Structure 1
Amino acid sequence: MKRLDFIRQQLASQALAVCQTYLPNGRRNGQYWVVGDVDGNPGRSLYVRLTGRAGKWTDSATGEHGDLLDIIAHNGRHSSFSDTLSEAERFLSLPRLLNTVPVPSQNSDRQDAARRLFAASQPLKGTAAALYLQARGLTDVLQYDALRFHPKCYGRSGSSQRHIYPAFIAAITDLRGDLTGVHRTFLSLSEPTKAPITEPKRSLGRMMGHGVRFGIANDVLLAGEGLETVLSLHSLLPWIPAVAALTATHLARLELPSTLARLYIARDNDKAGLTAWNTLSSRAITLGVQPLPLIPRLKDWNDDLLCFGRDHTIALARSQLAFIDKASKAARSS
Structure 2
Amino acid sequence: MPGVLFERLIRPALYRAGRSDPELVHERTMAVLQRAGRHPRVVAAVSRAFAVRSPVTVFGVRFANRVGLAAGMDKDGLALPMWPALGFGFVEVGTVTRHAQPGNPRPRLFSLPRSRAVLNRMGFNNAGADALAQRLAATGDLPVPLGVSIGKSKITELDDAVSDYQHSLRALYPYADYFAINVSSPNTPGLRRLQDRSALSELLGALQSLSAELAGDRPKTPLLVKVAPDLTDEALAELLEVADEHQVAGLIATNTTLSREGLHPDEQHLGRQSGGLSGRPLTARSLEVVRFIAKQTGGTVPIIGVGGISTPDDALRMIDAGASLVQLYTAFIYSGPSLVRHMARALAHG
- TM-score normalized by the length of structure 1: 0.30
Structure with the greater relative contact order (CA < 8 A, sep ≥ 6): 1 or 2? Answer: 2
| Greater helix fraction, Structure 1 or Structure 2 | 2
State the structure with more CA Rg. Answer: 1
